[in-house]
A and B are shown apart, each in its own frame.
Chain A
Amino acid sequence: MITLSIFSNIHQWLLGVLPDESTVHVVELITIALVYLALFALTGLFLVYAERRIAGFFQLRLGPNRVGPFGLFQTLADALKLVSKELTGTVKADKFLYHLAPYFVIISALVTLSIIPFSQEIQVFDIDIGIFFFAAVSSLGVIGIFLAGWSSNNKYSLIGGMRTGLQMVSYELSIGMAIVTIVLLSGTLQMSQIIEAQRHTWNIFQGHISSLIAFMVIMIASTAETNRTPFDLVEAESELGAGFHTEYSGMNFAYFFLAEFINMFISATIIVVLFFGGWLSPFGITDGIPFMGAFWFILKVAFIIFLFMWFRWTFPRLRIDQVLKLEWKYLLPINIVNVVFMAFLVWMGLTL
């Protein structure tokens, strides 16, 4: 749970107001859930804005700059439009699964948020198998996308959903192996301890070339996992309409869209925790100052997200056979060799 002093004050106050400790616990959990929901709806909106703005600069345009200062409220207006829209659907769709699918995607994205350490104090759920929990829960999202593709009763949606199945199941393997490489180095699965193990040197420098290879692999695999552009053949606009969410409109579509951006945020946070020392400041320059942990964390995450966007506006889309070739012929063999190499480094004590 969050261990900030202000929160312990609230905890004491709630203990005084409410009858017993279990009620206080439930109230606190619900409050945190609501705060996180609100916070990440805003984060998603901001990321959509940032994506469009950055895309503009890459393409010698300006991007949205009309609504509010620097166009900051553009995506808010878009979201309001989506909320007010009618929920349409196909006549022969499998209604139950059709309406269930977006919740699978958004809930699996939101559950993963609970293990993210924003700073030393701000972490909702510091479970001792944290990174394993991430790998397990984030895989649930693929079911939602698959259900959406299947239940829409539309051939483009189905092709999009099938491609998702292929792609996400393949690339999860690479993410898992890259995580294993770093777990070997840190010797723990708990998020806070992985960060604590990097206090003298970040993991990306600790493991020499092995860490660097793992970082490159996880960057590529995360891009594929979040269905972003070099690997966006799930929704390849020119071939499949909008892929698995062709038949969705209004809020159901917005859930998919928001989940995509929250997933990108989560992938970036996992990379920051594994390789760039989470909330640790470089060389410990701001160790004594409160709340600087969250600042450094957000800064690093923003940089990784910028890298994702940079990929998106640079590389052309891969074909489905190229996607599978990249995973099974290149990333996976490299990764397996890399895990063995990292194990050797750790065994011989050659890490920094």
Chain B
Amino acid sequence: MGDALTSEQPWFGTPREGRRRVLVSGVHRKVAGEFVSRLVADPEVEFVVGVSHGTCPPPLLNLDPDRFLMTTADLSRRDQVENLFMLDRLREANFDTVVHLAFQGNPKGYSVRRHEFNVNSTRWLLDGCLRRAVGKFIYLSTDAVYEVGPRSASQVREDADVNFDPQAHPIVRDTVDAEFSCRAKMDHDHCEIVVLRPSGVLGGGVLSGLNLLMESRPPLLPVGYDPLINPTSKQRLGRDLHLAATLRGKGLFNVAGPVVATLEGFMEARGISPQRVPGPLLTAAGRVQRAAGRSRYNQAFHPGRLFYSLVLDDARFDRCFRVPGSERVDRFGVDPVQSAIEGKRRVPTSFADAG
């Protein structure tokens, strides 16, 4: 790993001062439900404002209205993004954290407008943060930005090759564009900019590639390949986002699950039986399956994913944020935020229950 990535500062992982005022965009995402619930349950968070293009998603309906406010905005329009920073609630103090989860990742019906939304929403939000001295900006990227192939590293670190292929799927290129907008400003004096690259996210209703694959009937896999993966869950990703928002630290981080296994192994553990098809026919077979309404997974989005291993190395995130015995963990005991969430909501006990 390069020096720039290993030279963590001593203040990384220490709690941020004051109480958090958090703006979360894209609250209709499943992971946002987990994340916002954690934030609202955290006594160190003053209030949370959720932004979406539609109505409030059901998991967030019962949250305390004094601590959670839902608003609507089109993030591809700069004026509407600017308005977010001028809410009545912010008369005394502005946001100190912005978490950008909004991303239109559905390959179906992709258009220039979606491209503008994906790239410009990041730009406008980041610009607003920098001009208003917001203390932290977090962008949730994806592991699809990594180049996957037979020469990939066994453990992919943050400095691994990014997919700059001009033939890559436009959504992947959007993600890379948005991510690089953030990385270009990462040395900012006042704003800690964090880019998180989660491995595939599993959980009911999650629109990640791996989850859509597992929800296909049946999942199609290429003959002769069984790649290693270490997916995370929406609960774990919500917790990691919470850590990144409340602890100090900036930079580019992989976040992944604790278990490394083969793709088929994960399916077997969930009682899913995949169907094997010859590799060259996989994309065509997937197209037929989608047309028949049996799947929403698009193989063209990340072509090498079902062939070659992609195990993210999140040791850097561990070092910076998941430090056992750190000041924050001592202060909160075991995990009071999780306890508070579990006290209010039914805890999923199985993969089928999750979400």
Whether A and B are associated in the same complex: the answer reads: no
Chain A residues near B (Cβ < 8 Å): none
